[in-house]
Amino acid sequence: MTEPSHGDNAFTATSLYGRQPEMTYGGALSFLRRRYTKDLAGTDVVVSGIPFDAATSFRPGARLGPQAIRAASVQHAELFAFPWGFDPFQRLAVIDWGDCFVDYGYPQRLVETVEAHARHILASGATMLTFGGDHFVTYPLLRAHAALHGPLALVHFDAHPDTWPDDGERLDHGTMFRRAAEQGLIDPRRSVQIGIRTHARNDLGFTVLDAPWVHEHGPRAVVEEVRRVVGDARAYLSFDIDCLDPAFAPGTGTPVPGGLSSAQALAIVRGLGEVNWVGLDLVEVSPPFDHAEVTALAAATLAHDFLCLLAARRPKRSA
C-alpha cells in the first residue's frame, strides 16, 4: 500500500502554493510548514531568521526566537486565515529560506553578513519577512532595502524608540534607528512609532503614538494616523514583540509594563493593508523567558497576519 502523500510539507511539497495535511504536534518544522529551500525562483515572499542577540542591553535569548516562532506557527498552517477568510498560500508563493548564518565568534561582521543575505534575496524580486534576533538586525535589513528602494517610511512597533545616541559603530539594539535616520535609510517625516513607553530626548521627527495614546484612542485611530503619515511611500514594518505588554509577551529581553494587548496589535496590523509594504520583520522573542509559548504564539500570529496583508492584494490563483 502506498503511503499517503501528506506530512512534512517543508521537505515534500511539490509546489510553492497550497498546503497539505500535517500533524500540529509533529512533523518537520518550518514557518507555516512552507517549503525549506534556498531556491528563490518563483517566490513572492521569503521567510528567514537571523539568530543574533549580541546587541542586547538586558536579557539575552532572542537568538532562539526564529526557532520558537516557527514552532508556534503550526496551527496557522492548517486553517484558513482568521479573520481574512482565505488561504494566503493560494495567492502567495512563500518559502522558508532557513536562517542567515551568523558566526557567533565575529559579531562585528553582523552588518555585512545580514546585508549580503538580504541583498541576495531582494535581488530575486521577493519580499522578505524576517525573524530576529534582537532589534539591531533591522539596521542591516534597512540598508539592503533602502539600497533597492531609496529612503523608506518606517512603521515601528516597540516599547522603546531605539533612537538613543549612536556613534555609528556600536552594536546596540537601542540606537539603530537614529543611525538609520542619520544615514538616510528611513525618512522620519513619513515614519510612525507605535506603543512607545520610554523616553528619548529627541524624536528625530518621527510621529510617536505612545502606548497611552493607543490605549486612549484605539486601534482604528492608529491605523488612520499611520495611513496619513506614510501615505503612498514605500514602507518597512518592524515589530519588536516588547511592544506588547509583558502579560501578553513575557518572553522578551527588555519588557516594559503598560504596553499593547495582542488584540490591539493585531487589530492595528490588520488595518494596514493599504500601506505599500516592501519588507517586514519581527524581533526580540526570547524563548528562555517565555511561558507556555505565549510570546511565540503572539509573534507567529502577527507574522501570519503580515503575510495576509500581502496576500490580500492578490487574487486567488486559478486551479
What pLDDT sits at residue 319?
54
Residue 14 has pLDDT above 90, yes or no: no
Residue 127 has pLDDT above 50, yes or no: yes
Number of other CB atoms surrounding residue 204 within 10 Å: 18
Q: Is the dihedral of CA 253, 67, 303, 145 positive or negative?
A: positive
Instruction: Give dist(CA 244, CA 36) in Å, integer.
Output: 30
What pLDDT sits at residue 1?
44
Confidence of residue 296 (pLDDT cuts 50, 70, 90): very high
240 is in an annotated binding site: yes
Residue 317 has pLDDT above 80, yes or no: no
> Structure pTM?
0.95
158 is in an annotated binding site: yes
What pLDDT sits at residue 318?
60
Confidence of residue 135 (pLDDT cuts 50, 70, 90): very high
What pLDDT sits at residue 79?
82
| 76, 300 Cβ separation under 8 angstroms | yes
* 172 contact partners, CB below 8 Å, separation of at least 6: 55, 57, 136, 164, 166
105-120, pLDDT tens digit by residue? 999 999 999 999 999 9
Q: Is the dihedral of CA 278, 207, 258, 253 positive or negative?
A: positive
Instruction: Give dist(CA 181, CA 171) in Å, integer.
Output: 16
Angle at 315 between CA 313 and CA 153, to 5 degrees: 15
- Asked whether the bond before 83 is cis by omega within 30 degrees of 0, the reply is yes
CATH superfamily label, 29-311:
Ureohydrolase domain (3.40.800.10)
192-231, pLDDT tens digit by residue? 999 999 988 888 999 999 999 999 999 999 999 999 999 9
Residue 152 forms beta bridges with which residues? 186
242 is in an annotated binding site: yes
* 318 contact partners, CB below 8 Å, separation of at least 6: none
Confidence of residue 153 (pLDDT cuts 50, 70, 90): very high
24-55, pLDDT tens digit by residue? 889 889 999 999 999 999 999 999 999 999 99
Q: What is the mean pLDDT of residues 299-319?
A: 88
Q: What is the mean pLDDT of residues 59-79?
A: 95
Retrieve residue 174's grid coordinates. 537601542
Angle at 185 between CA 220 and CA 266, to 5 degrees: 25
Q: What is the mean pLDDT of residues 7-35?
A: 90
Exposed / middle / buried, residue 273 (Cβ in 10 Å: 0-12, 13-18, 19+):
middle
What pLDDT sits at residue 5?
60
Q: What is the mean pLDDT of residues 274-294?
A: 97
Ramachandran angles phi, psi of 209, nearest 5°:
-105, 90
Q: What is the mean pLDDT of residues 141-166?
A: 97
Q: What percent of the chain has pLDDT over 90?
A: 85
